[in-house]
Structure 1
Amino acid sequence: MKLFFSSFQWVVFILAGSLVAPIAAGHAFGFPPEDISSMIQRTFLLIGLSGLLQTIFGHRLPIMENPAGLWWGVFTVYAGLIASGTLGLSVGLQQLEMGMIIAGILFAVIALFRWTASISKLFTPLVIGTYLILLVAQLSGSFMKGIMGIGYLSSTVVNLQVAVPAILTVIIAMILPRSRFAIFRNYSILISLATGWILFMLFGVSQPQTPVDTWFSAPKPFEWGVPMFDSGILVTSIFISLLLLTNMITSIKITADVVKSKGGDVQDIPYNRTTAIMGVNSMLGGVFSAMGCVPISGTAGFILTTSIFQRLPFIIASVFMIGISFFPTLTAFFSSIPMPVGYATIFVPFASMIGLGLKEYRNIELNDKNRFILGVSLMIGIGCMFIPATAIGQLPGLLRTVANNGLILGMVTCIVLEQVYKLVERKKAVKGS
């Protein structure tokens, strides 16, 4: 029974975090409800397959796979190009399929030449701590807008009828992990989601389930057509792949540390094999016409909150995600979870990432050099988050993808500054000798 509830809580956490990207992307492209539901179905399949492959053959940790935020940004850029008439819908979607296949090939090349371990050395406690703080800063806007009901029920203003039950759900999610009773602590996310969904029904703001025509339907490959090559998507994919690789390494390091802190056994991470499997997962994103999946750092917050660090419940949850992707009725049921409830349910695990970031800083000496790197990285990263999308509309597509992505820019700044300082110090040491 404990295994069942632990596994189902993983399912709830995965579902709550995975619905936003395909729904938002579907609306951006102007898809009808049935096409959005189909995209969610394919996304569920990818999430399950990606998690299963990595947990069994890759890093061997229980880390949730989710549509990559960077690919979400690229999808948004292409949706804008399509809306402006620069690209046709079919052409744009087929280029996106090709982009994820190209990214997968690049990951395979990096793994083949065994470069991943060398790249992982760049991720010092200073870089990881900065990444975690920027991650929470970047997500906080979406979380608060979602909880306040902005964008829900086609509203662009704060909707109190939505915000009140969502805030109550957040409060419940904060209280449960600190309960004296183990059942409330261990299953806080599951209980919070169920309570929030009931509250939304009572407040009359839950949304009806999307009707489906059949009870069984296998996700179809190349739903958007045959992948189409383009020089623009080639450059974009190369750049995005390198950034996603840094995201993967950071997520693994963070989650491994949390699993160890909970008493779990963490073996040496086979980074090159993990990168190769990430390449497979990325190519599957292109094959099944959905966003490529990557390991999500928020998993560490989930494990920290629930103390569920064993692999078996996560493996069962991944198999469940694969299973429901073949049943449109189940897909439609789970996708009817109110988005504000999803945000409220996973609010605490993601908020706890700040604490993990500060814990990383305890492993370094906060001298003048590190304080300077930290200050510059956070200022650039957080500052870029406030650049309005309209201000970067004239930039080339690749720059538009990252210009206001403070998480990536801040982390890259931190890596570059730290490596420059180390290079300068090595040269001084050579001259001194």
Structure 2
Amino acid sequence: MTRLFKLDHWFAGLQWLFFLFTNTVVIPITVGAAFHLPQGKMISLLQFSFLFTGLACILQALLGHKRSVMEGQSGLWWAVILSLCYAAPSQGMTLTELGGNLAVGIIMSGVMTIIIGLSGLSEFLSKLFNNGVMAVFMFLLGCKLNAIFLQGMLGIPFGAQTGTSQIDIPVFFLSSFVAVFVIMVSMKASPAISKYSLLIGIIVGWFLYVLLFETEGIDVTGKMDMGLFPLGTPSFDLGIILTVVIAGLINISNTFGALKGTEEIYKSMTTKKQYRLSFTISGLFTIIAGLFGMVPYAPYVSSIGFLNQTKILERLPFILGGGMFMVMGIIPAISHFMAKLPLSVGSAVLLVAYLRLLQSSLQYFAKVDLTTANIYRLSVPLFVGIIFMTFPSSYFDSIPSIVRPLLSNGLLLGILFSLILENVPYRLSSKKQRNEDKNIYMKERDESA
């Protein structure tokens, strides 16, 4: 019992709270804005996001994979939902109709994720995510997320169209200072202080922002408008639902990425039971997300960067952070205060944490024998994914709407190419070669254990 009241655990829990908050707050706001929700429903979406994200983290830590890995609203899902919102008018579909189809597709994906967990299919699927796929996934995810955070550091609102916003130079200088400050604290300070570098950076950056600029927090004041299916009454459009279900299948890469990626940190291989329970809990909260209009859930691969940065591996601070996040969702006054955190400061701190994804990516690259064939398996999805990330959405207007959200997303496309190139030639290879590869996999697993 005395461990619970150690000041060290509460500081670490507070650092987790800020990590959960900065990763979550932008998602429901942008989704609500894309669907033109009234203020009451926006507040409801935000509060539910805080509440259920905190609860999901606690359940995963206690009953699921039992690691300090954030369970939150998936970035892959977020990108697909926003892409569908932008494409809906050109397809003659109202946002309410789109929201109803999304709800049905997300609930179906949640059920599918639970089936993957309970049936043991996760063991088979995990073999598809070999070292080559994981290397590409980690690298592309780092590129995608850090591009978002760098945009926040530049003072450019998320979702701003080309030509509508400009770089805010004073804000960028401050956020750059915060990023450098966090890096220096993590490198130069004693271990007792460096593990709180992210928390220190947020506090210092927030204080300086208040001194130098006018605070522009997110408006979460007003009365909640609670209810099921806030985005639209359930409806059925085959094209939209098919896209959503495919996105749900690709989204499982987050679970494998987060759990495989933390094996080096925790010095243990992920067991069948951990995969089974993790998928089951993620599926449950995905169903909840469909009911309440939220972005579906998955383990956050970016937690690897946080763990490498802070070296805080214990579950208790993570559980405390999740509990405080739940309280924030229950008590609007706390949410109102936390929503004043400048997004540029939060983006700067997260950029530092997510830069560590390069370490995870390079560790997987080091495990790949760089033959000519493997070079192509790595380079094609890597370069195609990165290049497609830079293309404006207008390039894809000529693509059929049923596949446009997938093909216009460089991250999704890169992962798909990697899965195909890494596994299809393997399935077509000789039985002798497959047995040799299996022996190598079993040897690596035994050495890691």
Deviation of 1:256 (Å): 2.8
Q: Provide the residue aligned with 1:239 in structure 2.
A: 246
Q: Provide the residue aligned with 1:227 in structure 2.
A: 234
Partner Cα distance (2:177, 2:433) in 1: 58
SS state at 1:66 partner? strand
Give the aligned residue type for 1:247: N
Give the aligned residue type for 1:188: S
Tell me if structure 2 keeps the 8 A contact 1:383–1:406. yes
Tell me if structure 2 keeps the 8 A contact 1:209–1:333. no
**Cα-to-partner distance string for 1:24-60 (whole Å, 9 max, x where unaligned):** 2222223345543332111112211221222222211
Deviation of 1:93 (Å): 2.1
Tell me if structure 1 keeps the 8 A contact 2:250–2:412. yes
Task: Map 1:395-414 to 2 at 5 A.
Answer: 395-414=399-418
Deviation of 1:15 (Å): 0.8
Q: Given the two structures, how large is their TM-score scaled by the length of structure 2? A: 0.87
**Cα-to-partner distance string for 1:233-264 (whole Å, 9 max, x where unaligned):** 3312320111011221121110232233xxxx
Tell me if structure 2 keeps the 8 A contact 1:197–1:206. no
Identity of matched residues, %: 27
Matched, 1:159 2:163: no
Task: Map 1:392-431 to 2 at 5 A.
Answer: 392-426=396-430
Equivalent residue in structure 2 for 1:66, among 69, 72, 78: 72
Deviates more, 1:147-156 or 1:107-116: 147-156
Tell me if structure 1 keeps the 8 A contact 2:263–2:270. no
Q: 1:126 to 1:224 in 2, by over 3 A?
A: closer
Unaligned 5+ segments in structure 1 are none
Partner Cα distance (2:142, 2:237) in 1: 34
Partner Cα distance (1:289, 1:9) in 2: 28
Tell me if structure 2 keeps the 8 A contact 1:219–1:325. no
Q: Provide the residue aligned with 2:337 in structure 1.
A: 333
Partner Cα distance (2:210, 2:142) in 1: 29
Deviates more, 1:201-210 or 1:142-151: 201-210
Give the aligned residue type for 2:128: L
Partner Cα distance (1:266, 1:425) in 2: 27
Unaligned 5+ segments in structure 2 are 1-6, 435-449
Matched, 1:10 2:8: no
Q: Provide the residue aligned with 1:75 in structure 2.
A: 81
Matched, 1:384 2:388: yes
**Cα-to-partner distance string for 1:1-31 (whole Å, 9 max, x where unaligned):** 0010011100011111112222222222233
**Cα-to-partner distance string for 1:186-226 (whole Å, 9 max, x where unaligned):** 11111111111111111214214636346xx7965443454
SS state at 2:262 partner? helix
Q: 1:198 to 1:418 in 2, by over 3 A?
A: same
Deviates more, 1:189-198 or 1:175-184: 175-184
Partner Cα distance (2:178, 2:14) in 1: 19
Equivalent residue in structure 1 for 2:194, among 174, 180, 185: 185
Tell me if structure 1 keeps the 8 A contact 2:77–2:248. no
Partner Cα distance (2:258, 2:135) in 1: 12
SS state at 1:121 partner? helix
Q: Given the two structures, how large is their TM-score scaled by the length of structure 1? A: 0.91
Partner Cα distance (1:209, 1:28) in 2: 16
Matched, 1:53 2:53: no
Tell me if structure 1 keeps the 8 A contact 2:146–2:351. no
Deviates more, 1:185-194 or 1:267-276: 267-276
Give the aligned residue type for 1:356: S
Tell me if structure 2 keeps the 8 A contact 1:70–1:401. no
**Cα-to-partner distance string for 1:393-412 (whole Å, 9 max, x where unaligned):** 34344422222322222122
Tell me if structure 1 keeps the 8 A contact 2:40–2:222. no
Give the aligned residue type for 2:381: S
Q: 1:76 to 1:37 in 2, by over 3 A?
A: same
Matched, 1:119 2:128: no
Partner Cα distance (1:324, 1:90) in 2: 29
Tell me if structure 2 keeps the 8 A contact 1:278–1:294. yes
Give the aligned residue type for 2:329: S
Partner Cα distance (1:404, 1:90) in 2: 23
Matched, 1:309 2:313: yes
Deviation of 1:70 (Å): 2.5
SS state at 1:294 partner? strand
Give the aligned residue type for 1:17: N
Q: Provide the residue aligned with 1:268 in structure 2.
A: 271
Tell me if structure 2 keeps the 8 A contact 1:151–1:157. no
Task: Map 1:69-148 to 2 at 5 A.
Answer: 69-81=75-87, 83=89, 86-148=92-154
Q: 1:83 to 1:341 in 2, by over 3 A?
A: farther
Q: 1:333 to 1:269 in 2, by over 3 A?
A: farther
Tell me if structure 2 keeps the 8 A contact 1:150–1:156. yes
**Cα-to-partner distance string for 1:59-90 (whole Å, 9 max, x where unaligned):** 11111122112321232133224555823333
Give the aligned residue type for 1:341: V
Deviates more, 1:199-208 or 1:307-316: 199-208
Give the aligned residue type for 1:196: G
Equivalent residue in structure 2 for 1:285, among 278, 289, 293: 289
SS state at 2:72 partner? strand
Partner Cα distance (1:158, 1:342) in 2: 17
Give the aligned residue type for 1:206: T
SS state at 1:110 partner? helix
Partner Cα distance (1:269, 1:197) in 2: 43
**Cα-to-partner distance string for 1:287-342 (whole Å, 9 max, x where unaligned):** 22211111110100000000111111111211222221111121222222111111
SS state at 2:303 partner? helix
Task: Map 1:368-383 to 2 at 5 A.
Answer: 368-383=372-387
Give the aligned residue type for 1:300: I
Partner Cα distance (1:152, 1:205) in 2: 19
Tell me if structure 2 keeps the 8 A contact 1:173–1:189. yes
Partner Cα distance (1:219, 1:240) in 2: 27
Q: 1:333 to 1:374 in 2, by over 3 A?
A: same
Partner Cα distance (2:277, 2:400) in 1: 34
Tell me if structure 2 keeps the 8 A contact 1:133–1:357. yes
Give the aligned residue type for 1:114: G
Aligned length: 424
Q: Provide the residue aligned with 2:48 in structure 1.
A: 42
